[in-house]
């Protein structure tokens, strides 16, 4: 995945990135996703930085923060984080393919709940 700031920054979206996010924030990946709306902007930028650093080990955090501050607004930051979370769950798939997979999983989950409810009556 790439994020457009002052230039295109590659953001690594593999399991290693998730593990590094968990190490940096001291929480599970899913706790972080759940708490994203309560997270400070600095921490939201740091989430993206973890993936950028995994893609380019020479990238300095202060340079990435400055590029974010100078080139995107809060809406773009949130959109980039959404794309990032999807890409971390399904690396290599397009946004449309990820949405299809998530929709399919939600549908299967709803069917399972219905079967459980019917079976308990």
Model confidence at 24: pLDDT above 90: yes
Q: Answer whether residue 108 shows pLDDT above 90.
A: no
Q: Rounded to whole angstroms, how far apart are CA atoms 109 and 98?
A: 16
Distance CA 12, CA 56 (A): 9
Residue 61 and residue 29 in contact, taking contact as beta carbons nearer than 8 Å: no
What residues are paired with 3 via a beta bridge? 9
At residue 119, the pLDDT reads 64
Model confidence, pTM: 0.79
Structure confidence at residue 120 as a pLDDT band (50, 70, 90): low
């Amino acid at each position: 995945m790439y994020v457009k700031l002052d230039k295109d920054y590659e953001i690594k979206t593999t399991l290693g990135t998730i593990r590094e996010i968990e190490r940096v924030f001291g929480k599970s990946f899913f706790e972080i996703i759940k708490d994203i709306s309560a997270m400070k902007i600095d921490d939201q930028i740091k989430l993206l930085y973890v993936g950028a650093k995994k893609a380019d080990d020479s990238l300095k955090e202060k340079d990435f923060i400055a590029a974010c501050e100078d080139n995107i607004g809060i809406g773009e930051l949130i959109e980039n984080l959404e794309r990032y979370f999807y890409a971390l769950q399904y690396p290599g798939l397009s946004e449309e393919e990820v949405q299809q997979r998530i929709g399919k999983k939600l549908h299967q989950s709803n069917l399972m709940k219905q079967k459980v409810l019917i079976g308990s009556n």
